[in-house]
Structure 1
């Protein structure tokens, strides 16, 4: 497990500025939905944790509605980027903390909301990570997951996972809605809402953001070009390699 965690940190640590400026990560209807859910369900005195915060876009979105939010990530440069960007935005209620899902350095029930966005597909033991999120959530508090949602169709799912792995060696697996529902239920989290939106990934910026080696980019393009028509249709594959996946949001309450 440590080898995978270290590899993931090495992969992302140099890319903090790229993720801060990434249009995919900096905006999206999922951020608006997360803000609306928080505003409708938690008071301004609430405290939150953002697990695998990356460059901090979820924390930046939620911070104005909270007493405080802790942005947690294993990559030091991501935390430095979050801290400096929060200061520039005047968000003094954002704290940073080094750590990873499955070994959260907080006492039971420390937060009213525990969230994660575009991080869970890197977690080696996802069930342990979700259980740990539930552990540090106060009774009656909320858990928010936002991630790439895997297709239900096995053929499209297999191709998407292969593309993701070639592009990013730290990728583990995107999960389907059915898988997320089971994970949350097993952790004792009641699912209250699920939403999804199209997620168009422009090929050139997608691979450059992760510094994908040229030989893997070539393999990725070959796989795309050889993809069956059903896959091309399901993922809306474009001539330049751009495609459209799905962003999923799961909002639950700790039982």
Structure 2
């Protein structure tokens, strides 16, 4: 199964769990997105890889006209249903891949992706598409899990992420994001970071990880070097701290749009 199909299948079967997931449904980053829209109306926003739509809901509730785009039709159905229930009439859904957007160039004031890019097979191509569809004076915001700069911690995180979810590609380091954004035609990002504690039981349950893989994750975490366990604050039950980054960037003047 190709990566796009694998990701769509994985999240199509777990769509409802992501709507109610505390990790995804809450966070000061959602409030921050809403505040950005309120400070600079009117706003046309694209939520790229929208998942269960939490960023879309925050943007639309603040007054933005939102396009929620995802690969999974099951996810998009949940977003549309929940938007209707919340009375968010300025939200529409669109199905498609991040690296080949079915959208005209310079269509959006704000392009957001939240907890999605680590599933994309070609992030540089997706960033070029984001550069194409954002207006010259617009803003891109990437919110995603990131690997620590330590190769040891990086390897440990990618290993457990892939065991938990076969559609995982990579939690990029902040330094890697900066390089990819530069290559896509964005100015250097302003970056903030925080950590989320991944409760092991709900983390694997949300993705319906098979028991054999759950056991493998526990074994990998148990046997990981002390430095990595300490850096990720691995607990006795397997719960651990995941680093998250908010990266905000504007199109670089004179860079042109990637085609």
Partner of 1:22: 21
Q: Which moved more, 1:208-217 or 1:59-68?
A: 59-68
Name the CA distance, whole Å, in 1 between partners of 2:97 and 2:9.
14
Q: How many aligned positions are there?
A: 252
Partner of 2:200: 203
Name the CA distance, whole Å, in 2 between partners of 1:39 and 1:254.
21
Q: Deviations over 1:107-164 (max 9, x none)?
A: 1101111110000001111100011011000111111100001101110110010000
Name the CA distance, whole Å, in 2 between partners of 1:79 and 1:85.
10
Partner of 2:163: 166
Partner of 2:11: 12
Q: Which runs of 5+ in 1 are unaligned?
A: none
Name the CA distance, whole Å, in 2 between partners of 1:214 and 1:26.
26
Partner of 1:190: 187
Q: How is 1:233-244 mapped onto 2 (pairs within 5 angstroms)?
A: 233-244=230-241
- Is 1:179 the counterpart of 2:176 in the alignment? yes
2:178–2:189 CA contact under 8 A, matched in 1: no
2:37–2:64 CA contact under 8 A, matched in 1: no
Per the TM alignment, residue 192 of structure 1 is displaced from its structure 2 partner at its CA by: 4.6
The runs of at least 4 aligned residues of structure 1 exceeding 6 Å deviation read none
1:29–1:197 CA contact under 8 A, matched in 2: no
Partner of 1:65: 62
Per the TM alignment, residue 216 of structure 1 is displaced from its structure 2 partner at its CA by: 0.3
1:47–1:66 CA contact under 8 A, matched in 2: no
Name the CA distance, whole Å, in 2 between partners of 1:189 and 1:74.
25
- Is 1:3 the counterpart of 2:2 in the alignment? yes
Partner of 2:82: 85
Per the TM alignment, residue 199 of structure 1 is displaced from its structure 2 partner at its CA by: 1.0
- Is 1:111 the counterpart of 2:108 in the alignment? yes
2:139–2:248 CA contact under 8 A, matched in 1: yes
1:191–1:250 CA contact under 8 A, matched in 2: no
Per the TM alignment, residue 35 of structure 1 is displaced from its structure 2 partner at its CA by: 2.7
Q: Which moved more, 1:57-66 or 1:74-83?
A: 57-66
1:54–1:78 CA contact under 8 A, matched in 2: yes
Name the CA distance, whole Å, in 2 between partners of 1:194 and 1:144.
10
Please tell me the root mean square deviation across aligned C-alpha atoms, in Å. 1.2
1:189 partner SS: coil
Normalising by the residue count of structure 1, what TM-score does the alignment of the two structures yield?
0.96
Name the CA distance, whole Å, in 2 between partners of 1:75 and 1:121.
16
Per the TM alignment, residue 65 of structure 1 is displaced from its structure 2 partner at its CA by: 2.6
Name the CA distance, whole Å, in 2 between partners of 1:67 and 1:61.
9
Per the TM alignment, residue 247 of structure 1 is displaced from its structure 2 partner at its CA by: 1.0
Partner of 1:145: 142
2:141–2:246 CA contact under 8 A, matched in 1: yes
Match of 1:228 among 202, 220, 225: 225
1:79–1:97 CA contact under 8 A, matched in 2: yes
